[in-house]
Structures are given as C-alpha cells and as structure tokens.
Amino acid sequence: MTRRVDATVQLLGPAAVVVAVGIATTFVSPSTRIYFLNALVSVAIVVAIYVFVGNSGVLSFGQISFVAVGAFAAGVMTIPLESKTGVLPDLFPLLRDHTIGNVSSLLLAAAAGGVVAFLVGLPLMRLSGLAAGIATFAVLEITHNVLREWTKIGPGPTALSLVPETTDALQATVGALVVIAAAFLYQRSRLGRQLRASREDPAAAQGVGISVHRQRLWAFTLSGALAGFSGGLLVHLLVISTEQVYLELTFVTLAMLVVGGVTSLWGAVLGALLVSGLDSFLSEAEDGVKVGLTLDLPDGTRLVILGLLMALVLIVRPSGVTGGRELRIPRLARTVRA
Amino acid sequence: MTLAALDAQTLADAVGLGAVYALMAVGIGLVFGVLRLVNFAYGQLIMVGAYTLAFTSEWPVAASIGACFIVVLALSFVMDRAVFRPLRTQSPAIMLVTTFAIAFVLQAVALLVDIRDGTIGESAVSIAPLNQAIAIGGVDVRKVTIVAVAVAAGTLGLLALLLARTTIGLHMRAAAVDFRTARLLGVRANRVIGFAVLLSGVLAAAVAVILTVQFPLVSPDFALRDTIVVLVGVVVGGIDRLWTATLGGFTIGFATGVINGALPTEETVFLPSAVFALVILVLLLRPAGLFARGGGAAVERV
C-alpha cells in the first residue's frame, strides 16, 4: 500500500508542478510567456537526459545531439511546401516534396532521435567513465558538424526559418508530461531497475546476470527518442540554428540536471524549472527590472551567476538540491519503525 | 613556392603546434595523475594568461610575461584551494562537470571584463615581434615556433628530471599509481596536489605566452578549441600515463597542423567529423589509449 502511494507521489509530484507552470503560462503577458514555454521544453530535455545519465550513472555530453536531430527532422518536415524550395533549395527530393503535420512531426522527431541514439549507442555503450564522456562529446561534435555543413538534409549554417510555431502552453505542458511519464514508467520497469542496479555496482549487477551493455543501450535509445521529441517541441517554439543545439545548451541542461540532483526524476524536473526560472529572471535583469529596487545587471552576468551556482552546488552538495531522491511524503510511521 | 617547400613549411608549423599541444597535454596529465581530475578549465587558465598579456601590453615585454605567470599561478592556486580540494573525494564525473562549470564562469567573467570597451577582443601587440619569421633553408620558421619547440623540449626534460630525481617527484609518481597507499606511506596529499596544480599552472602560462604571440587577438574563447582538441588527444593517447598523454597531445597537434596546411578549406568542412569518428574508433578499440602498453587494468568496460 505505502509502495503504491510512494509511486503515485513520485509521478504526480513532478507532473503537478509541470501542470502548474503550464497553467501559469496562460495568465502571464505574451513577452513573459516565452520564458515559461522555454522552461517547460527544458523540463522535457533535462528529463530525457536524466533517463540515460541518471539511471546509468554514465556521463554523456552527447544527448543534445539527439535534441538537434529531432529538432531538424521536425523542423525541415513541417516547413510549408510552397516556401520550402525557396528557403531550402538543396534538400533531397524526398524531404523537399513532402510536408507533415504537427503531431506527426513530433513523432518523427522521437523516432529519428531514437534510431540515431540506438545506432550510436550500439558500439559506444561498451565504454564507461572518461572514455564514455569523450566519446559522447565526439558524437555531439559530429552531429553539429554534419548538420551545419550538409545542406541536402537541412538549412546548414543558417537558421531554420518558417517552421510553424505550434508549441503553445498546452503542447509544451503535454509534451513535458509525456516525457516525464515515459521516464517514470521506464525507471520502475524491470529494465530500469536492472540499469539502476548496474549504476550502484556494475560488477555485482553482472554477477546476477544483468547485461550492462544491453541495459545501457535501452536507456540510451529511450533517452535519444525523448530528446528527439523535446527537440521537436523546441523547433516549433523558437527559430533555431545548429548553434542553439550545441555546447551552451549541453552546458545549461547538464547544469539543470546537476543542480536538481542527477539520480532522480524529481531532481531533473525541479532542476530544470529552478535554473530556467533563475535564467529568465537574470536575462530580464540584464535589461533592467524592478524588484523592490531597480536591478540592472551588465550583459553577461547571467552566465557568470549560472556557472557559479552550478559550481557551488557541485562543491557543497554534489547530489543536488533534492539529494538525488524522489519526492515523497514524510511519514511519522517510518521514523518510529526505524 | 615549390611543393617541397610547402611541405617543409607545413611540417615546421605542425611541429610548432604539436609542441604547444604537448605542453598543454602535460599540464592536463599532471593534474589527472594525482587527482584523477580532467581539468576542463585548463584552457581558461591560458585564456586568463593571454588577457593579462593583452592588458599589460604597454609594459616592458619581460614584465608583461612575468605578470602573466603570476596571474595564472595565482588562479591555479585559488582553483586548487576552492575547487579541487573540496572535490577530491568525489567521482571523476562530478569533478569533470565542476571544471566544466568553472570554465564557463571564467569565460563569462572574461566576456564581462572584455566588453566594457564595447568590442570583444583585446590585442596583445607588444610581444608580437616574436612572431617574425626567419628563413632556414627556404622555409620560413617563425621565431615563436623555435621558442615553442625549445620550451616544450626543455620543460619535458626538466619535468622528467623532477619526477625521476626529486622527493616531490617520487611522491607525485607514487600518488599517481595509488593515492591512498601513498598517503599511508607518508606522502602529504595537499602538498603533492598543490605542487602538481602549480606545475600545470606554469605550463599554462608558458602556453599562454606562446599562443598569444601567434594569435595576438585575445577573446573569451581563446584556447577553448585548442583545449578540447588536446583533451581528445590526451584521452586517445592514454591519460593514465604522462608520457602517453603527452605523445597524444603532440600527435593531435601535429596532425591538425599537417591537415590544415595540406588541404584547402572547402575540402575540410567534414574534417571534424572524420577526426571525431576516428577518436571514437580508438576509444572503442583501445580504451586505455593508443600508446598505452597492454590491456590497462584501470579501464572499465562492459
């Protein structure tokens, strides 16, 4: 019984916070709305990263490549036919002559992210530690390089314009909820538990018959699919180019995950929302805001404060603000029994 | 210019770049040896050194270079005390992400300082004369290339002596093999780590001077690209040993120099992909590093 309550809280807690942000989005002014929508898409991206990094304990700098793949797949396929040949003349005929709807583009983004992640993960998931970090970083570099230079599959170095801006409060909220639900179901499944066991002790996990490679590959693929899906949400929100889905996004999303707490879904959601909130506040403050007294920070302060915050959390509390634990209701009975 | 001369020219420049990257590789490898920490912020140390040179370019050259060393060493010291020391017991991944954050902070601060005059980038003109070329057998060798190679060779020689012949060198080698046992046997952790960090700071300052001579326009992302390339080279070469790491750094610098010199720009657009694909291949086939001997027990693979 208590287990079921725990599970419900673990899912409903993060979901409720996301829904609250989604509802708040509809009440704020249009200029502030973009920050809220951004925060919701950040939740989706960070939870997607968490599915692999949090459950496996293997550091990856490469998950943003799947966000990029999803974003470009969804973006290129939803530009209206009549303007496509004009803006992207070099595309392959198959891509140039077809256009799909909004929801199917998100599904396509998820599929593209998942397939690429699976293919990349097949060899890469044998690596651990530093080698895994460098190899996944190499994946990010390759994705960035190919998307930037190959104009047959996308816009190349220019921004992807004319993509319908369909990510509104409803879509962003539902999108984030879908990703959270997928992450929740995965981490409570047999596969997820096997992977978490291998995170705590790889040797013992292998000893009881868990194939660490296979479990990591499943998580990597799911994470890639969710990241691709989030990329789809992102491309329908902002006009993006390859530079927006590269090093800085990698840094910011990792900062969110670390600040929240790498090993829990609750940490991923909370970290994404807290850091996005602070980030939005600071970028407003760079233009000057009034909070009691007028605050006007010089440009660039935002990045300094975000970086310092991340470093501070890592040094003082490496397990993040949630301590890497899931949300649960404090119960007296538990302390008594202990 | 004949083809042969072009080749010799490319090679001379490539050796120069390889020497600089080798120095950076030693700086990264020294700290990794005692701390198991990949210092992603190493490039930002160099960047700070380069800014110091730019801001002191009115001063006499010697004073300017001296200031660069002092600032970089002071920053290394602060990093050791404020960041590395509290993190020593954490996992390598946490330490790597932290240095990532530190790198980000330093770069953001540099941008804040730099942007005050309304433009990004400061130039360090006073030490630029070192960039003049002298012709040796039809090949233009820039003075700084000679300096770079000489500094690299000299530093590596001194370092070898230090590690092999002195007590602190012995302590560092012991700490690199097994830190806990070394501490039990009386090696003082803070002293060894502090020394390694300072040594790597000296190297960073030297690299800052050499790079600034070659590229006098200093911006917040100065040496960032180089650091990423060197990190890749170090891991590919084999980060567990200083010599394999250094060789990895030199090799990737030399290779970059040769490829950039030999191929026209329009044919190199997919070059990064090819290089990083190769990196992945090496990591898969030889996770302990290209130049490491044997299997390497330290490598985890599943």
Domain enclosing residue A195, as ranges: 2-245
User: Does A158 fall in a domain?
Assistant: yes
Number of domains in chain B: 1
Residue A196: the pLDDT is 94
Per-residue confidence at B299, pLDDT binned at 50, 70, 90? very low
User: Does A195 fall in a domain?
Assistant: yes
**Each residue's pLDDT tens digit, A281-311:** 888 777 766 665 556 666 677 778 888 888 8
Number of domains in chain A: 1
Shortest alpha-carbon distance between residue B98 and chain A (Å): 6
CB of B277 within 8 A of CB of B25?
no
User: Does A66 fall in a domain?
Assistant: yes
Predicted confidence (pLDDT) at residue B87 exceeds the cutoff of 60: yes
Residue A258: the pLDDT is 86
Q: Kindly provide the residue ranges of all beta strands, DSSP E only, lying in chain A, ordered along the sequence.
A: 289-291, 293-295
CA distance A242 to B236: 27
Q: Helices A30-56 & A2-27, crossing angle to 10 degrees?
A: 150
User: Does A261 fall in a domain?
Assistant: no
Domain enclosing residue B168, as ranges: 13-222
User: Does B302 fall in a domain?
Assistant: no
Residue A283: the pLDDT is 80
User: Does B288 fall in a domain?
Assistant: no
User: Does B106 fall in a domain?
Assistant: yes
- Pick the more confident residue, B115 or A194: A194
User: Does B278 fall in a domain?
Assistant: no
Residue B232: the pLDDT is 84
User: Does A136 fall in a domain?
Assistant: yes
User: Does A306 fall in a domain?
Assistant: no
- Pick the more confident residue, A179 or B123: A179
**Each residue's pLDDT tens digit, A142-178:** 999 999 988 888 888 888 888 888 888 999 999 999 9
- Pick the more confident residue, A282 or A206: A206
Per-residue confidence at B127, pLDDT binned at 50, 70, 90? low
User: Does A138 fall in a domain?
Assistant: yes
Residue A297: the pLDDT is 66
Mean pLDDT of the region B105-127: 80
User: Does B269 fall in a domain?
Assistant: no
CA distance A57 to A199: 5
Per-residue confidence at A46, pLDDT binned at 50, 70, 90? very high
Q: Which of B84, B94, B97, B106 to mutate to test the interface with A (most CBs of A within 10 A)?
A: B97
CB contact under 8 A, B96 and A212: no
Predicted confidence (pLDDT) at residue B240 exceeds the cutoff of 90: no
CB contact under 8 A, B283 and A133: no
Predicted confidence (pLDDT) at residue B128 exceeds the cutoff of 70: no
Predicted confidence (pLDDT) at residue A58 exceeds the cutoff of 80: yes
Mean pLDDT of the region B27-49: 88
User: Does A259 fall in a domain?
Assistant: no
How far from A288 is each of A66, A291, A294, CA to CA, in Å? 35, 10, 7
Q: Which residue among B107, B111, B280 places its CB closest to the CB of A135?
A: B280
Q: Which residue among B90, B92, B235 places its CB closest to the CB of A318?
A: B90
Residue B89: the pLDDT is 79
Residue of chain A whose Cα is closest to the Cα of B118: A299
User: Does B296 fall in a domain?
Assistant: no
Which of the listed ranges A168-182, A255-269, B120-134 does the model predict with the highest average pLDDT? Answer: A168-182
How far from B302 is each of A117, A129, B86, B283, CA to CA, in Å? 18, 11, 31, 13
User: Does B116 fall in a domain?
Assistant: yes
At a CB cut-off of 8 Å and minimum separation 6, what does B282 contact?
A: B236, B290
* Least confident window among A213-227, A277-291, B42-56: A277-291
Predicted confidence (pLDDT) at residue B5 exceeds the cutoff of 50: no
Q: Which residue among B83, B108, B269 places its CB closest to the CB of A149?
A: B269
For A157, the enclosing helix (H) or strand (E) is none
A139 touches chain B (CB under 8 A): yes
Global pTM reads: 0.86
Residue A136: the pLDDT is 93
CB of A183 within 8 A of CB of A229?
no
User: Does B206 fall in a domain?
Assistant: yes
